[in-house]
Amino acid sequence: MAPFLSGISIVCFAASYAVALACEASRLVFRSGVRGAVMVTFAAAGLVAHTLFLGWRAVSSGTVPLSSPFDWYLLAAWLLAAGYLWLTIANPRTPVGLFLLPVVLALVGAASLASREPFLHDAASRFWGRIHGGFHLVWSVSVVLGAIAGLMWLIQAGRLARKQAPLQGFRMPSLERLAHVTARTPAIAAWAAAAGFVSGIVLNAVNRRRGLIETVPWTDPVVLRMAAVVAWLIVADWMTSTARRRPDGGRTTAWLALVSLAVMAGSILWGLFGSTQHGRPAAAAPAMRVEATP
Amino acid sequence: MTLALVGGTHRTVPLALRERLAFTADQAAEALERFRDRFPGREGVLLSTCNRVEFYAAGEADAAAPPHDELVSFLAECRGLDAQALAPVLGRERDEAVARHLFGVAAGLDSMVLGEPQILAQVKQAWALAQDSRTTGPLTAGMFQAALRTAKRVAAETALGRERVSIPSVAVADFASGVFERFDDKRVLLVGAGKMAAETLRYLREAGARDVVIVNRTASRATDLASRLDARPAEFADLERELVAAELVVSTTGSSEPVVSLDLFDRAAAHREGRPLVVLDLAVPRDFDPAIGTRPGVWLYCVDDLAAACEANRRRRQREIPQALAIVEEETRRFMGDVHHRTTAPVIEQLRAGWNETGSAELERLFRRLPHLAAGDREEIRQAFERYAAKMLHPPLASLRNESHAGPPHGLLDALRRLFNLQE
C-alpha cells in the first residue's frame, strides 16, 4: 500500500481536475450524454488522489495539512474541489466547474511553487498556529466562492440585459441565488480574516515571549499586507450590506467580490515572491510543526 | 410481413377537412373495433391529434396489411366522409417508410412546432387504445416500442425539444427564471386580462407562483379572471401600490397608450427597497414605457424581445434536425432488421426441429447399445449432443440475422430449404 500511496503526486490529481475542466469547457461546443459521468468520475478520482496525497503526506512526514505553505494551498484546493464535486452532482446543468476548477488548478500550481518546509514552532504555539491557519483558509475559500458567484452574476445579468436566451450548455444559476452567495461570503471572509489576523498577532507574541523561534517583525510586509487585506474585507462587507437595499446592489456586490479576489490574489503573489520573515524557521529551532498560513 | 400507413397532417389536409376527419377517443375505439371486424388477423393503430390523423396497419404474409385504398375507404366510412374527396389529401406509405415516418412523428420531427414533446404522449395513448381494442400484434408492438425508444434517444441525444419556442414559456423559463430562483415567495401582478396573461400564468404556476394579483380597467373582468385563475383582483387605481409589492409583472392590456409611465414607475420604485422587478410586457402597443427598462434592478422584456429569443431557440432546434434524422434512420434500420429476421422464424424452427429429431434418434440408438450407462452419464451425453447441435446451427443462424439487416434474406432461406430439404 505504501508504495502506491507514495507514488501519488500533484500531477495525478491536477491532471484529473484538468480533464474535468476540459469536459466542462466542451459543454460550450457540443452536447454529450456521457460527459456528465466522465466529468464527475475524473473530478472524484482527482479528489480521491488529492485526499490520499494529503493523508499520506501527513502520515509519512508527521505533518498536518496546514503545516507548510505547500500544504495550505493544497488544502484550500481540496476544499474547492470537494465543493465543485458537490455542486456539480447537485446541479449537473450548471457549468460551475468552468469557474471553480481554474482556481483549484491555480492553487495547486501555487502549491508547487510554495515552500514545503514546515513552519517550526514549539508545542505551546501549536494551538494558535492551528487557529491562525484555519481562519486564513476559511476567508480565502469564502472570497473565492464569493468572487465566482459574483462573476456568474455579472455574466447572467449581461445575458438578461442583452435579452438573449441562455447559451447551450451554459445555463447560469438565477441572479437571486448568486446574489444570496455574494451577499453572505463577504461577512464570513471579513470575520475569518480578522480572526486569522488577530490569532497571528497572538501567535507572534507567544513566539516572541518564548524566543524559541525567529519571530515576525511587526513591520514585516506580511503583517502590513494582511492588515490591509482585513481592512479591505471589512470595508467590502460594509459596502455589500449597504448596497443590498439598492436596485443596483447585485452588481455592486458582484464587483466587490471580484475586487476582494484580486486583493487576495495579490496577497498570495506577494507571499510567494515577496520578502518576509513570516514562516521562516529559525536555524536552531526544535523541529516541531504547527499549522499556519503562507 | 407488410406495414401500411394512410394519414394526413396539418401540412396536407385543410383545417376544415381535418376537423371532420379527427377522432375523439370514443370514436377511435369504435373505429378500431370496426377495423378488427373488417380486417381480421391484421393489426391497426389510430393516431388522431389536432394536427394529424394517421392509421397504421400491419399484417403477416398470410394476412397482409390492407391496401391503401381500402384503408382510405375505411377511414372515410368511420367519419362519414367521401372517400373520393379524402383520397387526394391523405399520404400513403408502405413497409420501411411507415416505420421511418412513425419514428419521426414520435420524435416531434413532423410536428407543427418542431420537437414539441406532447406528440410522444399522444403516440403512447394511441398505442394504449389499440391495445385495449385488441388490434395490436407483434409487428405494431415492435414498431411502437421502437418509436418510443427513438423519441427518447432524440430527446436525450439532441437539443431538439430542449429549447423553448413559445413566448410565454421563453418569458418564464429563460428570463424570469434567470432572475428569480423561486416563485412561491414572489408576488405576480397581471395587468390586463389578455389571453397571453393566462398562458404565461400557467407557466408561472408550474414554476411555483402562488401569490397572483390581477388589475384591469374593467373591474368585473379582473374579478372574473381572478376567480378562474385562482388569483386576487385589485382596483386599477391601486396599480402604483401593486407595483410596489410585485416582483414580477405580466402586462397584456389593449391600451393604445403606455399604462405604466416612467413617472408612475419611479414613484413606485422609490418604495421598493431595491428589490428586483421582472416585467413581461406582452401587450402591443407596449404597456410599459421602454425607458423603465433602463432603471437599475428592472428587467423589462417586450414581445419583440421574447419573439427574438424564441426565433433563436427555433433556429437551434433546426440545427438539431440532421442528428435527429440520423437517429431515426438508425432505429428504422434496426427495426426493419428485426422484422426481416422474424420472417426467418419458420425456417429456423424447422431446422432446429430436424436437428433435434435426428439427434434424439441417434441418442436412443446409442443408449440401446450401451444399456449399462448410468442416468447421470446419459444426461451428460444428451447435453453434449444438444450443445453440438446448437454450435453447428449457430453459423447459419448468425448469417440469417446479418443478412436480415439488408432486407428479407430470401436467397439464404431458399438455400437452407433446399440444402436441408425443408418445406415452404
Average pLDDT of span B242-248: 95
ipTM attached to this prediction: 0.80
Rounded CA-CA distance A281/A213 in Å is 7
The confidence score (pLDDT) of residue A235 equals: 95
Establish if A287 belongs to a structural domain. no
**Is the same domain home to A136 and A228?**
yes
Question: Of A86, A118, A150, which closes a domain?
Answer: A118
Q: Among A48-57, A245-254, B260-269, which range has the highest average pLDDT? A: B260-269
Q: How confident is the model at residue B300 (pLDDT cuts 50, 70, 90)?
A: very high
Establish if A12 belongs to a structural domain. yes
Q: Among B30-39, B314-323, B387-396, which range has the highest average pLDDT? A: B30-39
Q: How confident is the model at residue A284 (pLDDT cuts 50, 70, 90)?
A: very low
Instruction: Assess whether pLDDT exceeds 50 at residue B19.
Output: yes
The confidence score (pLDDT) of residue A282 equals: 45
**Is the same domain home to A173 and A220?**
yes
The confidence score (pLDDT) of residue A288 equals: 39
Q: Which of A205-209, A215-219, B47-51, B283-287 has the lowest mean pLDDT?
A: A215-219
Q: How confident is the model at residue B93 (pLDDT cuts 50, 70, 90)?
A: very high
Q: Which of A233-247, B66-80, B153-167 has the lowest mean pLDDT?
A: B153-167
Average pLDDT of span A222-251: 89
Rounded CA-CA distance B12/A42 in Å is 51
Average pLDDT of span B46-71: 89
Establish if A284 belongs to a structural domain. no
Q: How confident is the model at residue A64 (pLDDT cuts 50, 70, 90)?
A: low
**Which residues of B are annotated as catalytic?**
50
The confidence score (pLDDT) of residue A275 equals: 66
Average pLDDT of span B1-30: 89
Give pTM, 2 decimals.
Answer: 0.72
**Is the same domain home to A131 and A68?**
no
If you measure CA to CA, which chain B residue comes closest to A163?
B305
**A222: helix, strand or coil:** helix
The shortest CB-CB distance from A174 to any of B180, B274, B313 is to B180
Instruction: Assess whether pLDDT exceeds 90 at residue B264.
Output: yes
Q: Grid cell 401540412 — which residue? A: B11
Q: How confident is the model at residue A283 (pLDDT cuts 50, 70, 90)?
A: very low
Tell me which chain A residues have a C-beta less than 8 angstroms from the C-beta of B182.
176
- Considering Cα of B233, then B236, then B237, then B239, what sign does the dihedral take? positive
Rounded CA-CA distance A169/A166 in Å is 8
The helix (run of H) or strand (run of E) holding residue A69 is: helix A69-90
If you measure CA to CA, which chain B residue comes closest to A34?
B157
Establish if A288 belongs to a structural domain. no
> Comparing C-alpha atoms, which of B8, B104, B93, B117 is closest to residue B322?
B104
B308 touches chain A (CB under 8 A): yes
**Is the same domain home to A114 and A147?**
no
**Is the same domain home to A143 and A256?**
yes
B156 touches chain A (CB under 8 A): yes
Instruction: Assess whether pLDDT exceeds 90 at residue B104.
Output: yes
**Is the same domain home to A24 and A3?**
yes
The confidence score (pLDDT) of residue A63 equals: 65
Question: Of A85, A118, A151, which closes a domain?
Answer: A118
The confidence score (pLDDT) of residue A124 equals: 55
Rounded CA-CA distance A92/A96 in Å is 9
**Is the same domain home to A129 and A241?**
yes
Rounded CA-CA distance A53/A57 in Å is 6
The confidence score (pLDDT) of residue B157 equals: 85
**Is the same domain home to A34 and A104?**
yes
Instruction: Assess whether pLDDT exceeds 90 at residue A191.
Output: yes
The confidence score (pLDDT) of residue A276 equals: 61
Q: How confident is the model at residue A123 (pLDDT cuts 50, 70, 90)?
A: low
Interface contacts (A, B; CB < 8 Å): 68
**Is the same domain home to A254 and A228?**
yes
Average pLDDT of span B133-152: 94
Instruction: Assess whether pLDDT exceeds 70 at residue B348.
Output: yes
Establish if A61 belongs to a structural domain. yes
Establish if A251 belongs to a structural domain. yes
B295 touches chain A (CB under 8 A): yes
- Number of structural domains in chain A: 2
Instruction: Assess whether pLDDT exceeds 50 at residue A289.
Output: no
Q: Which domain holds residue A87?
A: 1-118
Rounded CA-CA distance A18/B420 in Å is 62
The confidence score (pLDDT) of residue B292 equals: 95
**Is the same domain home to A44 and A143?**
no
A164 touches chain B (CB under 8 A): yes
Name the DSSP class of B261. Answer: -
A35 touches chain B (CB under 8 A): no
Rounded CA-CA distance B38/B53 in Å is 20
Q: Which of B5-14, B101-110, B412-421 has the lowest mean pLDDT?
A: B412-421
Q: Grid cell 451425453 — which residue? A: B381
Instruction: Assess whether pLDDT exceeds 80 at residue A169.
Output: no
Mean pLDDT score across all residues of chain B: 89
Rounded CA-CA distance B136/B272 in Å is 62
Q: Do the chains contact at B274 and A163, CB–CB below 8 Å?
A: no
Question: Of A94, A118, A142, which closes a domain?
Answer: A118
Distance from CA of B278 to the nearest CA of A (A): 10
Establish if A293 belongs to a structural domain. no
Average pLDDT of span A229-247: 91
**Is the same domain home to A129 and A267?**
yes
- Using one digit for the tens of pLDDT, what is the confidence trace for B200-227? 888 899 899 999 999 988 888 888 888 8
CB atoms < 10 A from the CB of B100, how many? 20
> Comparing C-alpha atoms, which of B135, B129, B147, B127 is closest to residue B74?
B135
CB atoms < 10 A from the CB of B320, how many? 21
The confidence score (pLDDT) of residue B331 equals: 95
Instruction: Assess whether pLDDT exceeds 90 at residue A252.
Output: yes
- Which of B175, B277, B311 is the best mutation test for A, with the most CBs of A within 10 A? B175
Establish if A55 belongs to a structural domain. yes
B179 touches chain A (CB under 8 A): yes
Q: How confident is the model at residue A248 (pLDDT cuts 50, 70, 90)?
A: confident
**Is the same domain home to A61 and A162?**
no
